[in-house]
Each structure stands twice: as structure tokens, then as C-alpha cells.
Amino acid sequence: MTSLAEAPRGYSSPNDGGSPLIRLDNIRKVFLTDEVETHALSGIHLDIRRGEYVAVAGPSGCGKTTLLSILGLLDAPTDGQYMLDDKPVANLTAAERARVRNRQIGFIFQAFNLIGDLTVYENVELPLTYRDMSADERKRRVQEALDRVGMLHRMKHYPAQLSGGQQQRVAVARAVAGSPLLLLADEPTGNLDSVNGESVMRLLQELHRDGATIIMVTHDPRYARHADRTVSLFDGRVVDEVSQ
């Protein structure tokens, strides 16, 4: 049987009738600090199908980022089961989890997380260098990703030479260059003005129309409306789900 870490990559067709891409069953996350228990997530049940665009909304401290960290294999739940592409995440070794993050999950962060002493081209290429991929293939993917977000003409620039909106476009290019199974966006408009925020939202919509599965954390209902479905969290629990 093919392992999750070795599974084929690339966007899948939405609503393909198969099993959910993501299934969370009774997920709990408890943080222990100084003998105090903080229940960040409690009893989360959630299915996300291939090709869906889901917004996770709620006030600060409700568990949104914790949930996204678990989905992105950056953290593990205290209890419950997480199935990704029909395979249990809990069975993965640390090395396999890192491989899945690199090959199957694209991350878009609020703070862009670009490396200042690397050019735009080098920032987008960096995750691909950890794969068994030729230099020509990396070049093709980087150029296609930068062209897709309208930043190919800036590929020799450094992050400090770009506006916030341009940096986020580069971050999106970095996330999609590897053709991930899943795109996770953590407040992708949080450091942008309204004009650049809407521009990034349009870019995510384009990726969604092309078949990408997107989960976006946001506290702004204007941006949540861009998604197919909004899952609302409060005190670590799902309190509402609304299809747009």
C-alpha cells in the first residue's frame, strides 16, 4: 500500500465523490503549562472534500491557528484521529511528517516568512531543493508559479524591495510551486491593506477554480465569504457551519 508520504501529488478534482481529503474525528488539543490545562480544541469533527475552499473563522484565541497547525502536521492532537487522504496521520514517523509537509501541503503565512537574503526566485525554489527534482524541473516550476501570481518580473529582487502585497504573492507562489494536495492559509491578509488583501483573495479564488483544496483561517467575515463554506470556532469547538 502506498504511504501518505509517498502518495501522488497535485490538485484533485472537486467533489469527486470519493472519501474526504481530510477527516477529523473528535480532535482534542490540551496544552499543559505550570500545571494548568488549556483546552485549545475540544471534540472537533470535520470533513473537507477535495477541491473545497473552507474558511475557519472565529475570535482571537478560539483555536483557529491550533487547528491549522494540526492540519499542517506542525502539531499533533492530544486525542482523536486525523485522516489525510484516507491515511491516519498518527502512524507517520517524524521524517514522514516532514516529507508530507514538503510534498503535499503548501503553507501561506500572515507574516510571509520569506528569507531576506534570498531572491524571490530562490525563496520559491527553496522547498523544491529538498525533493528529488532536476534543476530544469525546479526552474520550470518556479517560473510558472511566479508567472501565475504576476511576480515573474521581480524574480531577481529581494523581499525588502517588495511591498507587503508583493511579498504575499511570492509566498503564494512558494506554496503552489510544488503542486500540493492541500493549501493552508493562516490569516493571509492580516498584514495587508484592503486593496492588497482583496488581490490575494482573488488569487486564492483562481487557485480554487483550478482545483486546489484550500483551508483559510481568518477573523474577517469579508474574506470568509470568498470560501465555499465557513466553519466557525468558539472556545475550541465548532459552533456553526455555513455554506456560501
Q: What is the pLDDT of residues 199-225, one digit of tens each?
A: 889 899 999 998 899 999 998 888 999
Instruction: Let me know: does 214 contact 207? Beta carbons within 8 Å.
Output: yes
| pLDDT tens digits for range 117-168 | 999 999 999 999 999 899 999 999 999 999 999 999 999 999 999 999 999 9
User: What's the predicted TM-score (pTM) here?
Assistant: 0.87
**Checking phi first, is residue 144 left (phi over 0); if not, alpha (psi -120 to 50) or beta?**
alpha
CATH class of 19-243: alpha beta
